[in-house]
Structure 1
Amino acid sequence: MSAILPGKTVGIFGGGQLGRMMAMAARSFGYKIHVLDPDPACPAAYVVDKVIEASWRDDWEAGNLARGCDVVTLEIEQISPESMAMASRFAPVRPGAQMLAIIQDKIEQKTWLQKMGFPVGPFRGVRSLEELSSAVMELGGDCFIKSARGGYDGRGQARMYPEEVSDGSIRDAWLAVGETDCVVEKAVDLEQEISVMVSRSPSGEVKVFPAAGNVHENQILVWSVIPAPIPHELDRQARQIGEALADTFQLEGLLAVEMFVTKDGKLLINELAPRPHNSYHQSERACVTGQFEQAIRAVCDLPLGDVSLVEPAAIVNLLGEVWLDEQGNERQPHFDAALAVPGVRLHLYEKLKPRRGRKMGHLSAVGATGDEAIARVREAKSRL
């Protein structure tokens, strides 16, 4: 493999906040950046050289993106196989279409993980209301129902409790996920949620970041900390799983692995994401090399950066609610008050319109311990 050296052009499928932060990291290396996104005013638009306005299914424009680039990567999973195939005719696309096809469909993803011997909890793939009803009963009624494609930050999901199971509640869940193929996962006896980020270059070099500890509300990440508050042995196991996944997939780029830690100390894979991840935004402060720089190094086949821990760091997400009062009117958050907390930084995505549940930015903080970093960043948010 030959490295794609600074001065060349990197293309990104997606111009959201992840594409924006990848572009900013690439710019520090001297790369030019082109993105494809349905929104010409996407967050990345303000920091890149070119935006191609097109849908994820527009294979012609996907080809145009790749024609002008030396390598193409992605920040979102919804790229169609046709667009991936067209782009790959003109430039390397990393991660590749075969891996993306497995991850895009949660039924395929869970089935593949199980087949390859990776740890997953009990699940069923269903493609009709009748199959959903059977799966809920087989899993004891205590389960999560997720649409097989799309759906994130709580969208396309439903929760089922044993005491609520009925024909009506199952039908409501089917409607909630869009009356489409879905995966039904048995709820686990959860101690905490963690993630690991693994990077792998086309040359085969692999680096795995320390595990991050994550807290969600309504299936949306609230805050995350590196290192995760787990025993060293569990961190080692989680990182081994990440490395094994990267090698099995022959990954070229980044792979985030969301995991559950059960109360009896086991690790179960929840979901995979072949891109930078919300739970690793603090890596740029916690580790020698942050996830966005590592993404660029990996897809350009540069030597991967050191991911050793420098100091504990945490982030808290800023959703649209921060900009809205109880009546839904826009207001100005007190960012000056938040930034008065020691060790805190502000990261905004230049999204033009706040909406409830929409990720508009995040705060990060460092501390002598993970608990101190979390306390600082949460204190900063409370001052907004």
Structure 2
Amino acid sequence: MSAAQPVVPPATIGMLGGGQLGKYALMAANAMGYRTIVVDPDEHAPAAVVANSHVRAPYDDPDALDVLAAECAVVTTEFENAPSAALERLARSVKVAPSASSVAVAQDRIVEKTFMVDHGIEVGPFVAIPVSGAAGDVVEDARRMAREGAVVKTARLGYDGKGQRRVSSVAELEAALDDFAGVDVIVEALLELRTEISVLVARTSDGATVTWPVAENIHVDGILDLSVVPARVGPRLATDAERIATSVADALDYVGVLAVELFVVADDRPGAGGAPRLLVNEIAPRPHNSGHWTLDANVTSQFEQQVRAVCGLGLGSTAMTAPAAAMVNLLGDLWFLPNADGSVGDPVEPDWAAVLADPDATLHLYGKTTPRPGRKMGHLTVTADSPTAAAGRATALRHAL
């Protein structure tokens, strides 16, 4: 099958990964008339509930990959850590989108930052320290960053605040490097942020692209807490962010939905006068947590668009269906109430009545069987007349839980 030939229902779409992102993408695919298969080792994977078939196996299991290759017209993924070798193996006999090479860029922070620099896309100051050791000037740069404030991150497998440590001295830097010994790390300068934003861009194999309105994001302990749309950054900066995100997708020759996270900082370069400056933080080669609001406040959700893009169909409208929206994550912490002595008891299901009674709010629970502090169990979306009103109502409803 040529890359330009569209995949249409009732063809089968394969998904590597069975989390909530996969669940919503397969729900969209099923609604459009496709058959779906998910590969995930967890018998309780959220996507397994909605897939026509669940192959319970590791992502690189040869037999599982052979099932996808034999039965699917296209295979995609819902997380960036899908084994590149598995994607490459599949690509020899079935259409895979996004490509293994695109996903590989996002799997390694050093590769990702270097890719951006090589393509003229601005990022914050960083130094790479491979496990084999770094040159003396690189180490000195890392020490200088540490004195001014930096974040040490493992190059691979970190997410939601995992695999990273803030440092503010050389001693703390060295302690972090000792803790992360045996893996490549990257040291990033700690920037003075005005805000954080993200752009979702969808791209087809023939280069057609669309973006959604820019989201403004607030993180707590490295985990996304709140997304507000449209971002309160002004139209010029939003347009620049969309342009940058599209340029990243083009540079990757990306197919699917791509999330590009950006920092808004003050431009301290000579003559800039502290004007807002956009720096790419990281990318996610899949639908993204900050785009969950599209399920309830957009003509085409990021999940339907993922199906459209990887299948080579026309891309849907990304117009909002409400003036503004806000999304708040519901973490497993909500299930645990403190006892009188300050200890934490057994998990208790939150009372969802207040959320479900609000006509402007939509509750999404992912169906995960075991709540844990920090685990994403669901989210809720609120629509309103302004971003500020939406954000206030969303956080108030969560607090009521």
The TM-score range, normalised by the shorter chain, is: over 0.9
Is 1:46 the equivalent of 2:58?
no
TM-superposed CA distance for 1:122, in Å, is 0.6
Moved more, 204-213 or 169-178: 169-178
What code does the residue aligned with 2:327 have?
I
Residues 289 and 178 (structure 1 numbering): CA distance in 2 closer, same or farther, change over 3 Å?
farther
Matches within 5 A, 1:173-192: 173-177=176-180, 179-192=182-195
Matched ranges for 1:263-342 at <5 A: 263=266, 264=274, 265-311=276-322, 312-326=324-338, 327-342=344-359
User: 1:288, CA displacement in angstroms?
Assistant: 1.6
Cα 1:129–1:184 shift into 2, 3 Å: farther
Question: Which residue identity is paired with 2:78?
Answer: E
Mapped to 2, the partners of 1:112 and 1:340 lie a distance apart of 47
Residues 1:62 and 2:69 aligned together: no
Paired residues of 1:343 and 1:376 also in contact (CA < 8 A): no
Q: Is the CA contact 1:194–1:228 (under 8 Å) kept in the aligned structure 2?
A: yes
2:363 matched residue in structure 1: 346
Identity %: 39
SS in 1 for 2:165: strand
Q: Distance in 1 between matches of 2:154 and 2:60?
A: 19
Q: Does 1:156 align with 2:163?
A: yes
Paired residue type of 1:304: L
Give the whole-Å Cα distance in 1 for the aligned partners of 2:70 and 2:366.
Answer: 28
Task: Report how far residue 51 of structure 1 moved.
Answer: 1.2
The 2-side partners of 1:175 and 1:60 are apart by 39
1:139 aligns with 2:145: yes
Deviation for aligned residue 1:133 = 5.3
Structure 2 runs not aligned, ≥5 long: 267-273, 339-343
Q: For 1:17-166, what aligned pairs fall within 5 Å after superposition?
A: 17-128=20-131, 131=134, 134-141=140-147, 142-161=149-168, 164-166=169-171
Match of 1:357 among 374, 377, 389: 374
| TM-fit CA distance, 1:208 | 1.0
Aligned residue number for residue 7 of structure 2: 4
Q: For the residues of structure 2 that align with 1:214 and 1:90, how far apart are their CA atoms?
A: 39
Q: Is contact 1:52–1:65 with CA below 8 Å preserved after alignment?
A: no
1:315-363 Cα shifts (integer Å, max 9, x gaps): 1000111111221411120101222334111100000000110000001
Is the 2:298–2:318 contact (alpha carbons within 8 Å) kept by the matching residues of 1? Answer: yes
| Inter-partner Cα distance in structure 1 for 2:289 and 2:62 | 28
Counterpart amino acid of residue 317 in structure 1: N
Asked if 1:243 is matched to 2:246, the reply is: yes
Q: Aligned pair 1:205/2:217, yes or no?
A: no
CA drift at 1:50: 1.1
The aligned length equals 380
* Whole-Å separation in 1 of the counterparts to 2:188 and 2:61: 33
Structure 1 runs not aligned, ≥5 long: none
Mapped partners of 2:179, 2:55: distance in 1: 33
- Over 3 Å counting, the alpha-carbon distance change for 1:107 and 1:34 in structure 2 is same
